[in-house]
Amino acid sequence: MLSNMDRLVSIGEAAKALGVSITTLRRWEASGKLVAEHTAGGHRRYDLAKLKPELFRSEAEACRRTVAYARVSSHDQKDDLERQKQVLELYCARQGWTFEVIA
């Protein structure tokens, strides 16, 4: 059975999961936007299951659109272009971005 600390991650891992800096996580905690558990040594630990990037994005970021660009150098590489587009779409979707793929 996992203990509570086994499902928690460090501040660096949490920052990477949210795509923000460690300083931003500390600021969010100070403002009450985010709650961290602390180890006996005073280190912050975050429950990844409770960290949802969409809760921390500003309205300006929510309106932002990402443009992904795919290209190949010749018509013979049309299959490569389709693969590139699929990879870009998957990546952008996993990041939770509003996006458009241009090829």
Rounded to whole angstroms, the Cα distance separating 100 from 78 reads 19
C-alpha 25/C-alpha 34 separation (Å) is: 8
> How far is residue 103's CA from residue 82's CA, in Å, rounded to a whole number?
9
Choose, from 3, 31, 58, 73, the residue flagged as catalytic. 73
The token pair that represents 49 in the structure block:
């299951």
**Helices 22-31 and 11-18, interaxial angle, to 10°?**
100
Based on the residue annotation, tell me whether 73 is a catalytic residue of this protein.
yes
Give the integer Cα–Cα distance in Å for 58 and 80. 36
**Catalytic machinery residues:** 73
